[in-house]
Chains A and B, each alone.
Chain A
Amino acid sequence: MPSLGADMESGKLVHWLVKPGSVVRKGDVVAVVETHKGAFEIEVFEEGVISELCAKEGEELPVGAPLARLAKLGEAPPAAPPKAPEAAPKVIQVSAPAPVVETERATETPASPSVTQPASRLRVTPVARRRAGELGIGLDALKGTGIDGSVTLADVHLAIAKGVSSKAPSPAAVPTARRKGFDPDEMRQAIAAAMSRSKREIPHYYLTSTIDMSRSLAWLETFNKQHKPEERLLPAVLLLKATALALRKNPQLNGFWENGRFRPSDGIHIGWAISLRGGGLIAPAIHEVDNHSLPSLMGALHDLVGRARRGGIRGSEMMDPTFTITSLGDRGAESALGVIYPPQVAILGFGRVFKRPWVVDEQVTARPLLTASLAADHRASDGHVGGLFLAAVDRFLQEPETL
């Protein structure tokens, strides 16, 4: 059955004008075929003898199906049918994805609709849903403040600040109404989820450096003597500012690991780990740390710690950090090797400042020393970057007047 048009798929053989044994010449009309466009006369392009009519009158045949067989003139018709006509040109195959095997779904016992369908659907924005999933936060525990009451990214982060986690509520908790405000148990759950994910997914590497704090502390003492008590600074602000300036020089540590690659952040927003009196820990952001003066940084830190302990942290402050510092302060241990808070890519831990022997100008002398420990995500940076970063922190702390 010849193709007479691009949209012709089949044709009906109306009648034959030849019979077996008929001699045909190039251009002879041998049959009439009916198509959706009307009747066509079918011509042959070779001369020969019709050896066999394959199609019956009235038969509908797809394009490409043999209508008849033609033998060369003077040749006996072959005993066996000759080989099939040459195949049509291969259609170029655009590589198609392998078919999805749905056996798993097929064998699953369908759940009863009444169980799976919530009475009314919770509105959660796509990014909030993704983030809550990453942090192991249960969505139905969250209060939405977004458009049409939707749960937004800020709501998810606020929930962490408040210690909400209903990922796996205990059976006893189900009937009771959701508790408002801070709940140490739920915060424990939230921290557990985030830290488990971190250790599960992030290949941490660790670098440690000992920093001589004598210049910084001396400068601080002089500064504080010249200022009223409410204007005095804590060593923490020097650590914050030095870290921010070092991050400026090493932006590979300031940002997020998302969708399989590192996305650097424009601003340097440092999360400051604050332990809460009732137990638990949060690390809300101080924004644009590198652009603050030391006094303004002191104000920001003071405000943040105060609000954290009163429960007044905004959701946005929870989601903004691009890097985290955990500082153990006077009562802490020697060093702090932190766990990265995803999707951030690094955390810097400062231990307690101890007076220890230190070599200065070939002399052993007592100096206040601080151990700075970096934990960084090896997917986003390498140890070389981390080393440069720690060296930069050290350098800035040796020049406190420039901070």
Chain B
Amino acid sequence: MNEQAAKAGANRMTYREACRQAIREALTNDPRTFLMGEDVGLYGGCYAVSKGLLDEFGPQRVRDTPLAEATFVGAGIGAAMAGLRPIVEIMTCNFSLLALDQIMNNAATIPHMSGGQFAVPLVIRMATGAGRQLAAQHSHSLEGWFAHIPGLKVLAPGTIEDARFMLKAALTDPNPVMIFEHIVLYNAEGELDPDVIHVDIANARIRRSGRDVSILTYGNSLPKCLAAAETLAADGIEAEVVDLRVLRPLDNATIFESVARTRRCVIVDEGWKSGSISAEIAARLSEDLFFELDAPIRRICSREVPIPYAAHMEEAALPQTRQIVDAARSLVKPQ
């Protein structure tokens, strides 16, 4: 094996491994950082993200908690206020509802409510999304809800690179940052650019350029949109795929710039359509970009149903590539 190939091999990894390396790096670099959550230690993480880290760092740094989301999330907030840099893992975003009080009423409010005396430099990671037949209490996409709340930052890594480096940026941020890792992406594999060791948590990214229609998306819908863009290209339609990455605060500049250029927009969001982040973006476009639009905005979201168990029903409930292709085509070539 030549040197280049060896190097390429070292940089090829799964999204899960990228998350794990990010946590390992954080624990290595800052003694104030620790990982806390249900089954993060002995069990190795529900999705095996933290597997092996307990042996490396010990039970003070990789801390198993009882099933007490309100308190271990609240403890993360308190610890962050008092000088530590915790990473709190919530097993799935459905369980985050047990800690919603702490996230909303404490983490998001205290910096402002204290007149800027206390910051909450906390990272909360959780698994989100559907596609593994886990049914209606383990499959939802609640990142859009959290993106409603001032005082939080909400991240949705959709690439291996973001899985690897967003955590570092989140830990250096003085605010509570929530990272939503998609359960289907954990097994996704990809190559890391060895020159990239840092990503921002402020901007959306154009993952594919095109002039005919902008497809805005994030998380596990990103690969679906990229596949849709491939199909559209064969049909002579150049779709631009924008990875939102950061759901709060939304990067208006990148979104507006893209849509102002293509004048057509499809938003793909695994959350439900009603009151979703896709609704927010569509509203902003119609508020601020109305006179640039050359077609109605289209949204592809999950069907309004608790995510069902059976595979065919689950598939029917989620945004699929074919729908994205159809929506984009209908805007560019209506006939």
* A–B direct touch in complex (beta carbons closer than 8 A): yes
| Chain A interface residues toward B at CB < 8 A | 125-130, 145-148, 150, 152-154
Q: Which of B103-111, B133-141, B220-228, B291-299 contacts A (4 or more CB under 8 A)?
A: B291-299
Chain A residues with CB under 8 A of B295: 125, 146-147, 150, 152
For the complex formed, measure the closest distance between the CB of B214 and the CB atoms of chain A, giving whole angstroms.
14
The yes or no answer to B331 lying at the interface (CB within 8 A) is yes
Contact: A152 with B294, CB < 8 Å? yes
Give B276-295 interface residues, CB cut-off 8 Å to A. Answer: 290-295
Contact: B291 with A147, CB < 8 Å? no
The yes or no answer to B330 lying at the interface (CB within 8 A) is yes
Contact: B291 with A130, CB < 8 Å? yes
The yes or no answer to B263 lying at the interface (CB within 8 A) is yes
Give B286-335 interface residues, CB cut-off 8 Å to A. Answer: 290-296, 330-331, 334-335
Contact: B263 with A146, CB < 8 Å? no
Query: What does the 1/0 interface line of B164-207 toward A look like (CB < 8 Å)?
Result: 00000000000000000000000000000000000000000000
Complex Cα distance A302/B334, Å? 31
**A153 contacts which of B290, B294, B330, B335 (Cβ < 8 Å)?**
B294
Contact: B335 with A145, CB < 8 Å? yes
**B291 contacts which of A127, A146, A150, A152 (Cβ < 8 Å)?**
A127
**A147 contacts which of B263, B290, B292, B331 (Cβ < 8 Å)?**
B331
**B330 contacts which of A128, A129, A147, A152 (Cβ < 8 Å)?**
A147
Chain A residues with CB under 8 A of B290: 126
Given contacts A128-B294, A146-B334, A154-B294, 10 further A-B contacts (CB under 8 A): A125-B293, A125-B295, A130-B291, A145-B335, A146-B295, A147-B330, A147-B334, A148-B334, A152-B294, A153-B263
Chain B residues with CB under 8 A of A127: 263, 291-294
Complex Cα distance A153/B264, Å? 11
Interface SS, B side: loop
Chain B residues with CB under 8 A of A147: 295-296, 330-331, 334
Complex Cα distance A148/B293, Å? 15
Interface SS, A side: helix
For the complex formed, measure the closest distance between the CB of B183 and the CB atoms of chain A, giving whole angstroms.
35
Chain B residues with CB under 8 A of A130: 291
Complex Cα distance A152/B294, Å? 6
Q: Which of A127, A148, A154 has the most CB of B within 10 A?
A: A127
Chain B residues with CB under 8 A of A125: 263, 293-295
Complex Cα distance A146/B333, Å? 7
Chain A residues with CB under 8 A of B296: 147
Chain A residues with CB under 8 A of B331: 147
Residue of B nearest to A265 (CB): B261
For the complex formed, measure the closest distance between the CB of A385 and the CB atoms of chain B, giving whole angstroms.
24
Chain B residues with CB under 8 A of A154: 294
Contact: B293 with A126, CB < 8 Å? yes
**9 A-B contacts (beta carbon < 8 Å):** A125-B293, A126-B294, A127-B291, A145-B335, A146-B334, A147-B331, A152-B294, A152-B295, A153-B263
For the complex formed, measure the closest distance between the CB of A17 and the CB atoms of chain B, giving whole angstroms.
41
Chain B residues with CB under 8 A of A148: 334
Complex Cα distance A93/B334, Å? 51
- Which 10 A-B residue pairs are closest in the complex by CB-CB distance? A147-B334, A125-B294, A130-B291, A153-B294, A126-B293, A127-B294, A126-B291, A126-B290, A152-B294, A127-B292
Contact: B334 with A145, CB < 8 Å? yes
Complex Cα distance A126/B289, Å? 9
Complex Cα distance A113/B239, Å? 43
For the complex formed, measure the closest distance between the CB of A142 and the CB atoms of chain B, giving whole angstroms.
13
Chain A residues with CB under 8 A of B293: 125-127
Chain A residues with CB under 8 A of B263: 125, 127, 153
Chain B residues with CB under 8 A of A128: 294
Give B4-63 interface residues, CB cut-off 8 Å to A. Answer: none
Complex Cα distance A125/B296, Å? 8
For the complex formed, measure the closest distance between the CB of B286 and the CB atoms of chain A, giving whole angstroms.
9
Residue of A nearest to B331 (CB): A147
Complex Cα distance A389/B246, Å? 41
Complex Cα distance A4/B235, Å? 70
Chain B residues with CB under 8 A of A153: 263, 294
Complex Cα distance A148/B335, Å? 9
Complex Cα distance A148/B331, Å? 10
For the complex formed, measure the closest distance between the CB of B306 and the CB atoms of chain A, giving whole angstroms.
32
Give B103-133 interface residues, CB cut-off 8 Å to A. Answer: none
For the complex formed, measure the closest distance between the CB of A145 and the CB atoms of chain B, giving whole angstroms.
7
Contact: A126 with B334, CB < 8 Å? no
Complex Cα distance A94/B263, Å? 36
Q: Which of B293, B294, B295, B331 has the most CB of A within 10 A?
A: B294
Residue of B nearest to A124 (CB): B294
Chain A residues with CB under 8 A of B330: 147
For the complex formed, measure the closest distance between the CB of B262 and the CB atoms of chain A, giving whole angstroms.
11
For the complex formed, measure the closest distance between the CB of B287 and the CB atoms of chain A, giving whole angstroms.
12
Complex Cα distance A126/B263, Å? 10
Residue of B nearest to A320 (CB): B211
For the complex formed, measure the closest distance between the CB of A118 and the CB atoms of chain B, giving whole angstroms.
20
For the complex formed, measure the closest distance between the CB of B96 and the CB atoms of chain A, giving whole angstroms.
32
For the complex formed, measure the closest distance between the CB of B164 and the CB atoms of chain A, giving whole angstroms.
30
Complex Cα distance A305/B331, Å? 30
Complex Cα distance A146/B295, Å? 7
Residue of B nearest to A155 (CB): B294
For the complex formed, measure the closest distance between the CB of A210 and the CB atoms of chain B, giving whole angstroms.
38
For the complex formed, measure the closest distance between the CB of B75 and the CB atoms of chain A, giving whole angstroms.
33
For the complex formed, measure the closest distance between the CB of B192 and the CB atoms of chain A, giving whole angstroms.
29
For the complex formed, measure the closest distance between the CB of A165 and the CB atoms of chain B, giving whole angstroms.
21
Residue of A nearest to B211 (CB): A267
Chain B residues with CB under 8 A of A145: 334-335
Complex Cα distance A271/B28, Å? 59
For the complex formed, measure the closest distance between the CB of A217 and the CB atoms of chain B, giving whole angstroms.
37
Complex Cα distance A220/B265, Å? 46
Complex Cα distance A129/B290, Å? 11
Complex Cα distance A150/B330, Å? 12
Complex Cα distance A153/B292, Å? 10
Complex Cα distance A150/B290, Å? 15
